[in-house]
Structure 1
Amino acid sequence: MPGTREPFTTPAPAPAPAPAPSLGAGAGAGAGSAFASAAPRPVIQRSSVRGQVLDALRSALVTGDLAPGEVYSAPALGERFGVSATPVREAMQQLANEGAVEVVPNRGFRVIRRGARELAELAEIRALVEMPVMLRLTRTVAAPCWAELRPLAEATVTAAATGDHARYAESDRAFHAAVLALSGNRQLVHLADDLHRRAQWPLAGAPARRPRTDLLADAAQHTALLDALAAQDLPTAQSLIRNHFPGA
């Protein structure tokens, strides 16, 4: 088992009604007690314990604070949150259903190791799902509707500029979901968001946190895409969408 790491803090996603709780870092059942005592307990609102724990764990996956290959026990995480193991176990089971972790009997949950091929496959599927819809919307949605999405695009720029990876991940998905929602197809939005979330998990052996320059480049594509969509500039929109799905 790896040794206990320095505590980490999971920032609140944006936009969100309340900040996600903080986590302390550590790996596996053996490191559970050190993990639990690494930092002060976060305040958990009892009305939505499972949801807040799930949000925090999702942010920790994006930032790499829940590291690929590591095993984390629900009781240790529950002690860290100041809650029982039950909501943590439920949140982890949800992550298992999403393919982020796998159950390790009598120990907890191991974060899945993902390779470059899986990331490329996800990018290809996302491009197949999102690109035709966005290009169709270019022809049918009026410029004022695109202008209403400007704050969402700007939120990704702000998160990128501060290097806040968890906030960027949330704002990135919020922007894409808002664009696709203009299609009126809720099933499409749900499917695309699930694929997008999976694509945000870091690769095994790679730096967990992307360089700020990469985040800024991605965020700039959001604002440029809005400009192209509002102008019904189909060639530019198509080029930007393709560039936005690397490896597709």
Structure 2
Amino acid sequence: MDAIDSKAAAAPGQVIARTALYQEVAERLRARIFAHDLAPGSWVDEQVLADEFGISRTPMREALKVLAAEGLVVLKPRRGCYVAELSEQDLDEVFPVMALLEGRAALEAAGKASDADLAELRALHAQLERHAAAGDADAFFAVNDAFHAALQRIAGNRWLQHLIDDTRKMIKLTRRHSLQVEGRLEQSLREHARIMDALAARDPERAARAMHDHLLSGREALAKLGGAG
């Protein structure tokens, strides 16, 4: 019995057990891709990974089909599976989509945010200020993600959240992020301050514009690094 299979097999119903297994494998592979342990453009060795996870190749292949449907890997006939790569054109196309989606989330959040919600966002913004002052891009990046996630939760639109999550998966394929550009930390902080001001004023249209411009500004900074890989 496969090592990961042992727990799954205890669940009632063989079909459910197999489904749980390949979904777990897909999640592990997804995490490796986002961490770039499986780098963009690299070949995915099904057998090596299956052996490492202690499973057969069947759930591994099912997991890779899930990731292929998400656009994270590419299945090439007779050549195997490769981690997807984003071109500059891909980034030029995906960032405006993300800007529209996150702009909408900011618009909806501005109309729904409670005082407690705003206090949460201000606390996150204060962390961004500290990390920017320290020049800690990695910590800033992590809190930035938390800020955007909190804003989307406040918006409370599950359909919008689903689209944002799917689109963000693609952006995570790039090996770089805009905060690596000199001066971008401070610029991003100013953009976040404008978003906060609009949210505090409960001005949906201004919040949407500020978020939209923030995302496009990130793309412009990313372009300065050159090369999507």
- Normalising by the smaller structure, the TM-score range is 0.5 to 0.7
Q: Which among 196, 211, 214 is matched to residue 243 of structure 1?
A: 214
CA contact (8 A) 1:147 1:230 kept: no
Q: Give the deviation of 1:244 after TM superposition.
A: 2.8
- Deviations along 1:62-104, whole A, 9 cap, x unmatched? 2333223322132211112232223322221111001111113
Give the direction of change, closer, same or farther, for the CA distance of 1:151–1:71 in structure 2 (3 Å limit): farther
Q: How many Å separate the matches in 2 of 1:221 and 1:51?
A: 40
Give the partner amino acid of 1:180.
Q
C-alpha distance in structure 2 between counterparts of 1:119 and 1:82, whole Å = 36
Counterpart in the other structure of 1:90: 62
Unaligned runs of 5+ in 2: 9-19, 221-229
1:151 and 1:200, CA in 2 relative to 1: closer, same or farther beyond 3 A? farther
Give SS of 2:60's match: helix
C-alpha RMSD of matched pairs (Å): 4.0
- Structure 1 residues 79 and 211: CA distance shift in structure 2, 3 A: farther
Q: Residue type of the partner of 2:39?
A: A
Distance 2:50 2:37 in 1: 16
Tell me the amino acid that sits aligned with residue 243 of structure 1: H
Deviation at 1:232, TM superposition (A): 3.3
Normalising by the residue count of structure 1, what TM-score does the alignment of the two structures yield?
Answer: 0.60
Q: 1:26-79: per-residue Cα shift (whole Å, max 9, x none)? A: xxxxxxxxxxxxxxxxx9994565444323322322233322332213221111
Instruction: Determine which structure has more spread, i.e. the larger CA radius of gyration.
Output: 2
User: Deviation per CA, 1:146-165, whole angstroms, max 9, x where unpaired?
Assistant: 3245677789898x948489
Superposition pairs for residues 150-229 of structure 1, below 5 Å? 161=136, 163=138, 168=142, 172=145, 175-202=147-174, 208-210=175-177, 213=180, 220=189, 224=193, 225-226=195-196, 228-229=198-199
- Of 71, 82, 86 in structure 2, the residue corresponding to residue 99 of structure 1 is 71
Tell me whether 1:75 sits opposite 2:20 in the alignment. no
Q: For residue 235 of structure 1, report the CA deviation from its aligned partner.
A: 4.5
- Equivalences for 1:59-74 in 2 at 5 Å? 59-74=31-46
CA–CA distance in structure 1, aligned partners of residues 200 and 7 of structure 2: 44
**What is the one-letter code of the residue matched to 1:66?**
L
Larger helix percent: 2
**How does 1:36-51 map onto structure 2 within 5 Å?**
46-47=7-8, 49-51=21-23
3-state SS, counterpart of residue 145 of structure 1: helix
The structure-2 alpha-carbon separation of the partners of 1:136 and 1:186, relative to structure 1 and needing over 3 Å to count, comes to: closer
User: Is the CA contact (8 Å cut-off) linking 1:96 and 1:102 kept in structure 2?
Assistant: yes
Match of 1:67, SS state, is: coil
Alignment CA distance shift 1:221-1:98 (3 Å):
farther
TM-aligned CA distance change 1:64 to 1:77, over 3 Å? same
One-letter code aligned to 1:114: L
> 1:142 and 1:46, CA in 2 relative to 1: closer, same or farther beyond 3 A?
same
Q: What residue in structure 2 maps to residue 56 of structure 1?
A: 28
Amino acid at match of 2:202: Q
Could you give the per-residue CA deviations for residues 185-241 of structure 1, whole angstroms, max 9, x where no partner exists?
211111111011111211xxxxx2448646956984796444642343665773354
**% of aligned pairs identical?**
31
Q: Does 1:230 align with 2:192?
A: no
When residues 161 and 195 of structure 1 are mapped into structure 2, their CA distance, relative to the original with a 3 A threshold, is same
